[in-house]
Structure 1
Amino acid sequence: MKDAPLILVVDDTPTNLEVVTEALGDAGFEVAIATDGERAIKQATISQPDLILLDVMMPGIDGFETCHRLKATPTTREIPIIFMTALSDTTDKVRGFNLGAVDYVTKPFQEAELLARVTTQLKLRNLQQSLEQQVEQRTAELRAALQQVQQSQVQLVQSEKMALLGQLVAGVAHEINNPINFIHGNLSHVQEYTEDVLSFVQLYQQHSANSAPELQAAAENLDLEFIQHDLPKTLASMKIGTQRIFEIVRSLRTFSRVDESECKAVNIHEGIDSTLLILQHRLKNKPEHPEIQVIRDYGQLPPVACYAGSLNQAFMNILANAIDALEELDAKRTYQEDQNKPSQITIRTSVINHQSVEIAIADNGSGIPKEIQQRIFDPFFTTKPAGKGTGMGMSISHQIITEKHRGKLLCSSTSGKGAEFIIQIPIQQQICAAS
């Protein structure tokens, strides 16, 4: 910061330069001089004075042209210019003001008037700069506040959506659970009854040689031998089906996490698997894109203290983005390319440093350009078309991992080789222990 304002005095007359320089110096200003317009422009560009006193009548380019060039250059445009002139013609003064001058000082100089005009213009410039800084600062604050409000609104909507989804999934799981319990519970009885009936039929067949012709004909029409062989298989298949429904219901309940507001130790793999179940319809083979293979490379993880519902939301956002990337790539590829390089999502889990767990979710899509990687966790940033995304999914995931779980969310990508998101969270959360 300069101790005193710097004033550039431009005049081709040495006597005028001496008078003005002495007056300004005695008043405590720093002074630089130039004797023509060209030198004045170079000097102003280099030293960036706080004010310029510019003579109108000079050899070479006159004061008007010098002023015009100074005002046309971004680095000197804002420097206030006071013309020094013996001209009294109003037309010349108007011309100077139109070119951007802020004031006139008439020769011969009156020292008090000169200092008064210089001081006034410097005060005005300082006031203008101060106001501009305040406006800029206030604008930045308002912009940040608006962004925070928008982010909070979207986060609230996302949280409500996830809460509603959790409630819906929990409700559906509960409704499915009741009838499937009834079916599964009765299957064991049906199996026992069937075994008894088949034993009776087998015994009957052993003594059917003398049975009525009508009974023998009915047995042949029923194909009892096939029924005896196939019925146990059918019942076993039904039992497997009900067990599979039980697994689905359990996964749905795991994903919904109706107790998601609580921080407690959970099985991370169950959360990932339940999230994949919710996204299963997008992973299956469809006419518009082939099946997306999911490779689970799970390590031995201990129970992890976390907010399970929120963590599942982060898994959902990251996996959904990976599916989006693979679908976008598949839409551009040929059938043969799809066969040669099937779309894959690899999920790898491990313990690091005995204190944290790492969940790496990688896809073999097109990758993320470097310039986008730097902004991928910014609120409202999205590369998707309008209506396809809010740009908040990755931002919310970042907040869930870094702020809510005191962890890290990293992105690594190479163009043409896919992208990998790495989640690292502590096994134990101090905030959980406190609660």
Structure 2
Amino acid sequence: MDTAHFSKPQATILIIDDVPDNINVLHRFLCQAGFRVLVAYDGEDGIATAEYALPDLILLDVMMPGRDGFSVCHHLKQQTITAEIPIIFMTALTDIEHKVKGFHSGAVDYITKPFQQEEVLARLTTQLSLRQAQQQLMQRNRELDAYAHTVSHDLKNPLSAIISLSDLLLESLSPNKTPSERQLRELSFIRQAGQQAVNIIDALLLLAGVSRQKTVQLIELDMLSIMHTVIEQRLDLFIKRYHGVIELPAYCPNALGYAPWVEEIWVNYISNGLKYGGSPPKLRLGATPEENGHVRYWVRDNGPGLSKEETATLFKPFNRLEQTKKVDGHGLGLSIVQQIVERLGGQVGVNSQLGHGSEFYFILPGCHRH
């Protein structure tokens, strides 16, 4: 059996079994196949060996005295250092119940007794190949994430300088002499271009942060307070620029979420409503409790509305509608919203009809009070 395609010259296999004859058979032909083989004769010893040696794969017997295979598998999958190690259960041919229970406890495959060498090697090489591919992908993702952060931070410094210098030039021109219309237009363009680039970088950093953060602690959020914060502190100048009118609800139910991310959702929805709404834009913000205990939050605008074809692609990354390309933007906002809401256990969507405006919404778990 050819195992030379592994990048590791010698993959390590841990056998956990209380029957010496089983171990002897497996040990002999796995060593002949080029694997490094470790052995444990009970569950506790198997856990200790796995945590110390960190093998590439574990062959785990189901029925053992003391700590059985299901308990061992569950324990290893709960530990950070061993959670990603693939586990193959060893079970009798007719133990369908054990096979199903093994998959539920975290095993990736099973082999049947009595052992067939070709089957064992085929299942081992398949899982080791998958594991290697997974590790390579994780490493590439880490490298890409580090690269994106480095480039983003490096770009923000000169862009911030461009924006600051363009502001100083605009201020210095006004008191001394009347600048030409062309000078003002070009300086304004420099500032707008710099600010747009900074916005793109901020969006990419936020998107990377959402993807990178594995666990998020959900807490009860005062949603009405978050709405006020976004409107009064983050979008005040934006609202004035578009002469927007925003109607807030008198009451808004709370939800479970992560405040910095939920604030970004409102910023995206409201700013889009201002840019793509009517003239002037008029927005209504509100919330509707769902039957399943979730809360549906929405932003309704007085814009031209969207077709079914347009709404179907709105939340795809870098998608921008033909009717909105004249407005400054980078096409990342709604994609970020979708990723954030899905990480928080919710859903996003839009209801729209040409000529009747649009309603953008997101759904989050509600707070159940007893």
TM-score, with length taken from structure 1: 0.38
- TM normalised by structure 2 equals 0.44
Q: Which has the larger radius of gyration?
A: 1
